[in-house]
Structure 1
Amino acid sequence: MIRVLVVDDHRMVRSGVRAELSGAQDLEVVGEAADVAGAVAAVERLRPDVVLLDVHLPAGPDENPAPGAGSGGAQVLARSAALLSADPPVRFLALSVSDAADDVIAVIRRGARGYVTKAISGDDLAAAVRRVAEGDAVFSPRLAGFVLDAFGAGAGEVAAADDELDRLSAREREVMRLIARGYAYKEVAKELFISVKTVETHVSAVLRKLQLSNRNELTRWAAARRLL
């Protein structure tokens, strides 16, 4: 069972997330928090597997954040830093209405494992929680590029249709680019008008041909070649 803490200052959002995840038999919402102070306390007390974290979270009623402390979500991450590398670790997935690059980068720099917008479906949110719990990085489509740019992925490197890329078929290249950009399998299937099973087959072939282990390595490989 994956234990989830939902952190958002809007009660309706917390209730909605809880309802969306309730249908997943392997996910359990173990608590909620509505501000920075409450979130930090809940993370320390509950030690959840995954924290769904609102980026623009208010401070607690008795708190006055120091200038430059960053968004509420970034503050929670900063104050929970020790738990990010604990055994087992507490992993954070940002869930926000904002898709601004600054917001995305701020929480990723603090240690969040992913960032999805509140436009995400319930099924995709559950899938994102599972992936983060396993240690993967998860981003809504089109947000991965912000992270790659900010961390200099591929900086100064040359884009090339090299021998490795030549191993892939045209369709495998299309699937590879979308997966590397953070698309879920269902999103890739919809984009390319193919089945999810076919997407899975192509991804397996891509990873095998490029001698990569997972989609995180694939993202780094594609970014280094400026293929995103």
Structure 2
Amino acid sequence: MAESPLRVVIVDDHPVFRAGLRAELDDTIAVVGEAADVGAAVAVIAETRPDVVLLDVHLPGGAGATVPEGSTGGAEVLKRAAHLVPGTRFLALSVSDQAEDVVGVIRAGARGYLTKGSAGIDVVKAVHAVAGGDAVFSPRLAGFVLDAFGAAAGETAAVPDELDRLSAREQEVMRYIARGYAYKEVAAELFISVKTVETHVSAVLRKLQLSSRHELTAWASARRLL
């Protein structure tokens, strides 16, 4: 029996972008609602209770929903809607690649952040990953989050014994994966096959007693390994 498609809401104030994104999503994802501003977004999210919300960072407030000074529309949606739908995950999808936007929306509760230049297949993969509890970032943006949350964690020093469990190649792979690189991108960077990357990742997670890429990112960030 086939699995039910993931239920997604798209929040973006550009209708052409919403239509284009809708067209690029495959049949494993069902778009159950759309919104163009903060007020409409909170309403449709509360009504449809989707698995994942694809959320632009900069949004107008809309009727009865002003955006406080210093806040982005996306962060405001998270503040107002997340407690209404505790099972819903939020994935930021924005043209902005500014550190303050990335860190701000992640602090507000988003599970990942992709730039709008991301390919449709990458968005689909990210939606599934976020729905499954992982954190996903465009590779060049992951460093902003790691820097911000590593500092907040008190810059915990790496424990030599933990790193000694990993081979030199496993440590290389670990750093790329923790930064948000896809397996294919890691393979290209290290001139190895995707299958080899998968093998190394499995070994890293097993040796460090971690269960997901999200936990690996948190582990590496806390130890200032990136």
Query: Structure 1 length as normaliser, TM-score?
Result: 0.90
Give deviations 1:15-66, integer Å, cap 9, x for gaps.
1110110xx2321111211111111111011111100000001121x34625
**Aligned positions of 1:154-169 closer than 5 A:** 154-159=153-158, 162-169=160-167
What residue identity is the alignment partner of 1:2? Answer: L
Q: CA deviation at 1:153?
A: 5.2
| Secondary structure, aligned partner of 1:3 | strand
Q: Decide which of 3, 18, 42 is 1:40's aligned counterpart.
A: 42
Match of 1:2 in 2: 6
- Measured in 1, the distance between the counterparts of 2:178 and 2:65 equals 40
Q: Which string of whole-angstrom CA distances, capped at 9 and with x for unpartnered residues, describes residues 90-129 of structure 1?
A: 1110000111111112111211111111111111110100
Q: Give the secondary-structure state (helix, strand or coil) at the position aligned to 2:110.
A: coil
Q: Residue 26 of structure 1: which of 25, 28, 31 is its match?
A: 28
Identify unmatched segments of 5+ residues in structure 1.
none
Calculate percent identity across the aligned residue pairs. 68
Counterpart for residue 149 of structure 1: 147
- C-alpha contact (below 8 Å) 2:129/2:135 kept by paired residues: yes
Could you tell me how far apart the structure 2 residues matched to 1:210 and 1:40 are? 39
**Secondary structure at 1:109 match in 2:** helix
Deviation at 1:79, TM superposition (A): 1.1
Deviates more, 1:203-212 or 1:140-149: 140-149
Q: Is the 8 A contact 1:69 1:75 kept in 2?
A: no
Q: Distance between the aligned counterparts of 2:64 and 2:140, measured in 1?
A: 35
State the number of aligned residues: 221
The answer to whether the 8 Å contact 1:74/1:107 transfers is yes
1:7–1:51 contact (8 Å) kept in structure 2: yes
Gaps of 5+ in 2: none
* Structure 1 residue 82, shift from structure 2 partner: 1.3
- Specify whether residues 97 and 163 from structure 1 end up closer, same or farther in structure 2 by C-alpha distance, changes over 3 A only: same
Match of 2:103 among 105, 121, 140: 105
Q: Which residue of 2 aligns with 1:68?
A: 69
Q: Distance in 1 between matches of 2:68 and 2:215?
A: 37
Report SS of the residue matched to 1:99. coil
1:80 is matched with: 81
TM-score, structure 2 as length reference = 0.91
Shift of 1:84: 4.6
For residues 8 and 215 of structure 1, the distance between their equivalents in structure 2, rounded to whole angstroms, comes to 28
Give the secondary-structure state (helix, strand or coil) at the position aligned to 1:29. Answer: strand
The aligned residue for residue 171 of structure 2 is 173
- C-alpha RMSD of matched pairs (Å): 1.7
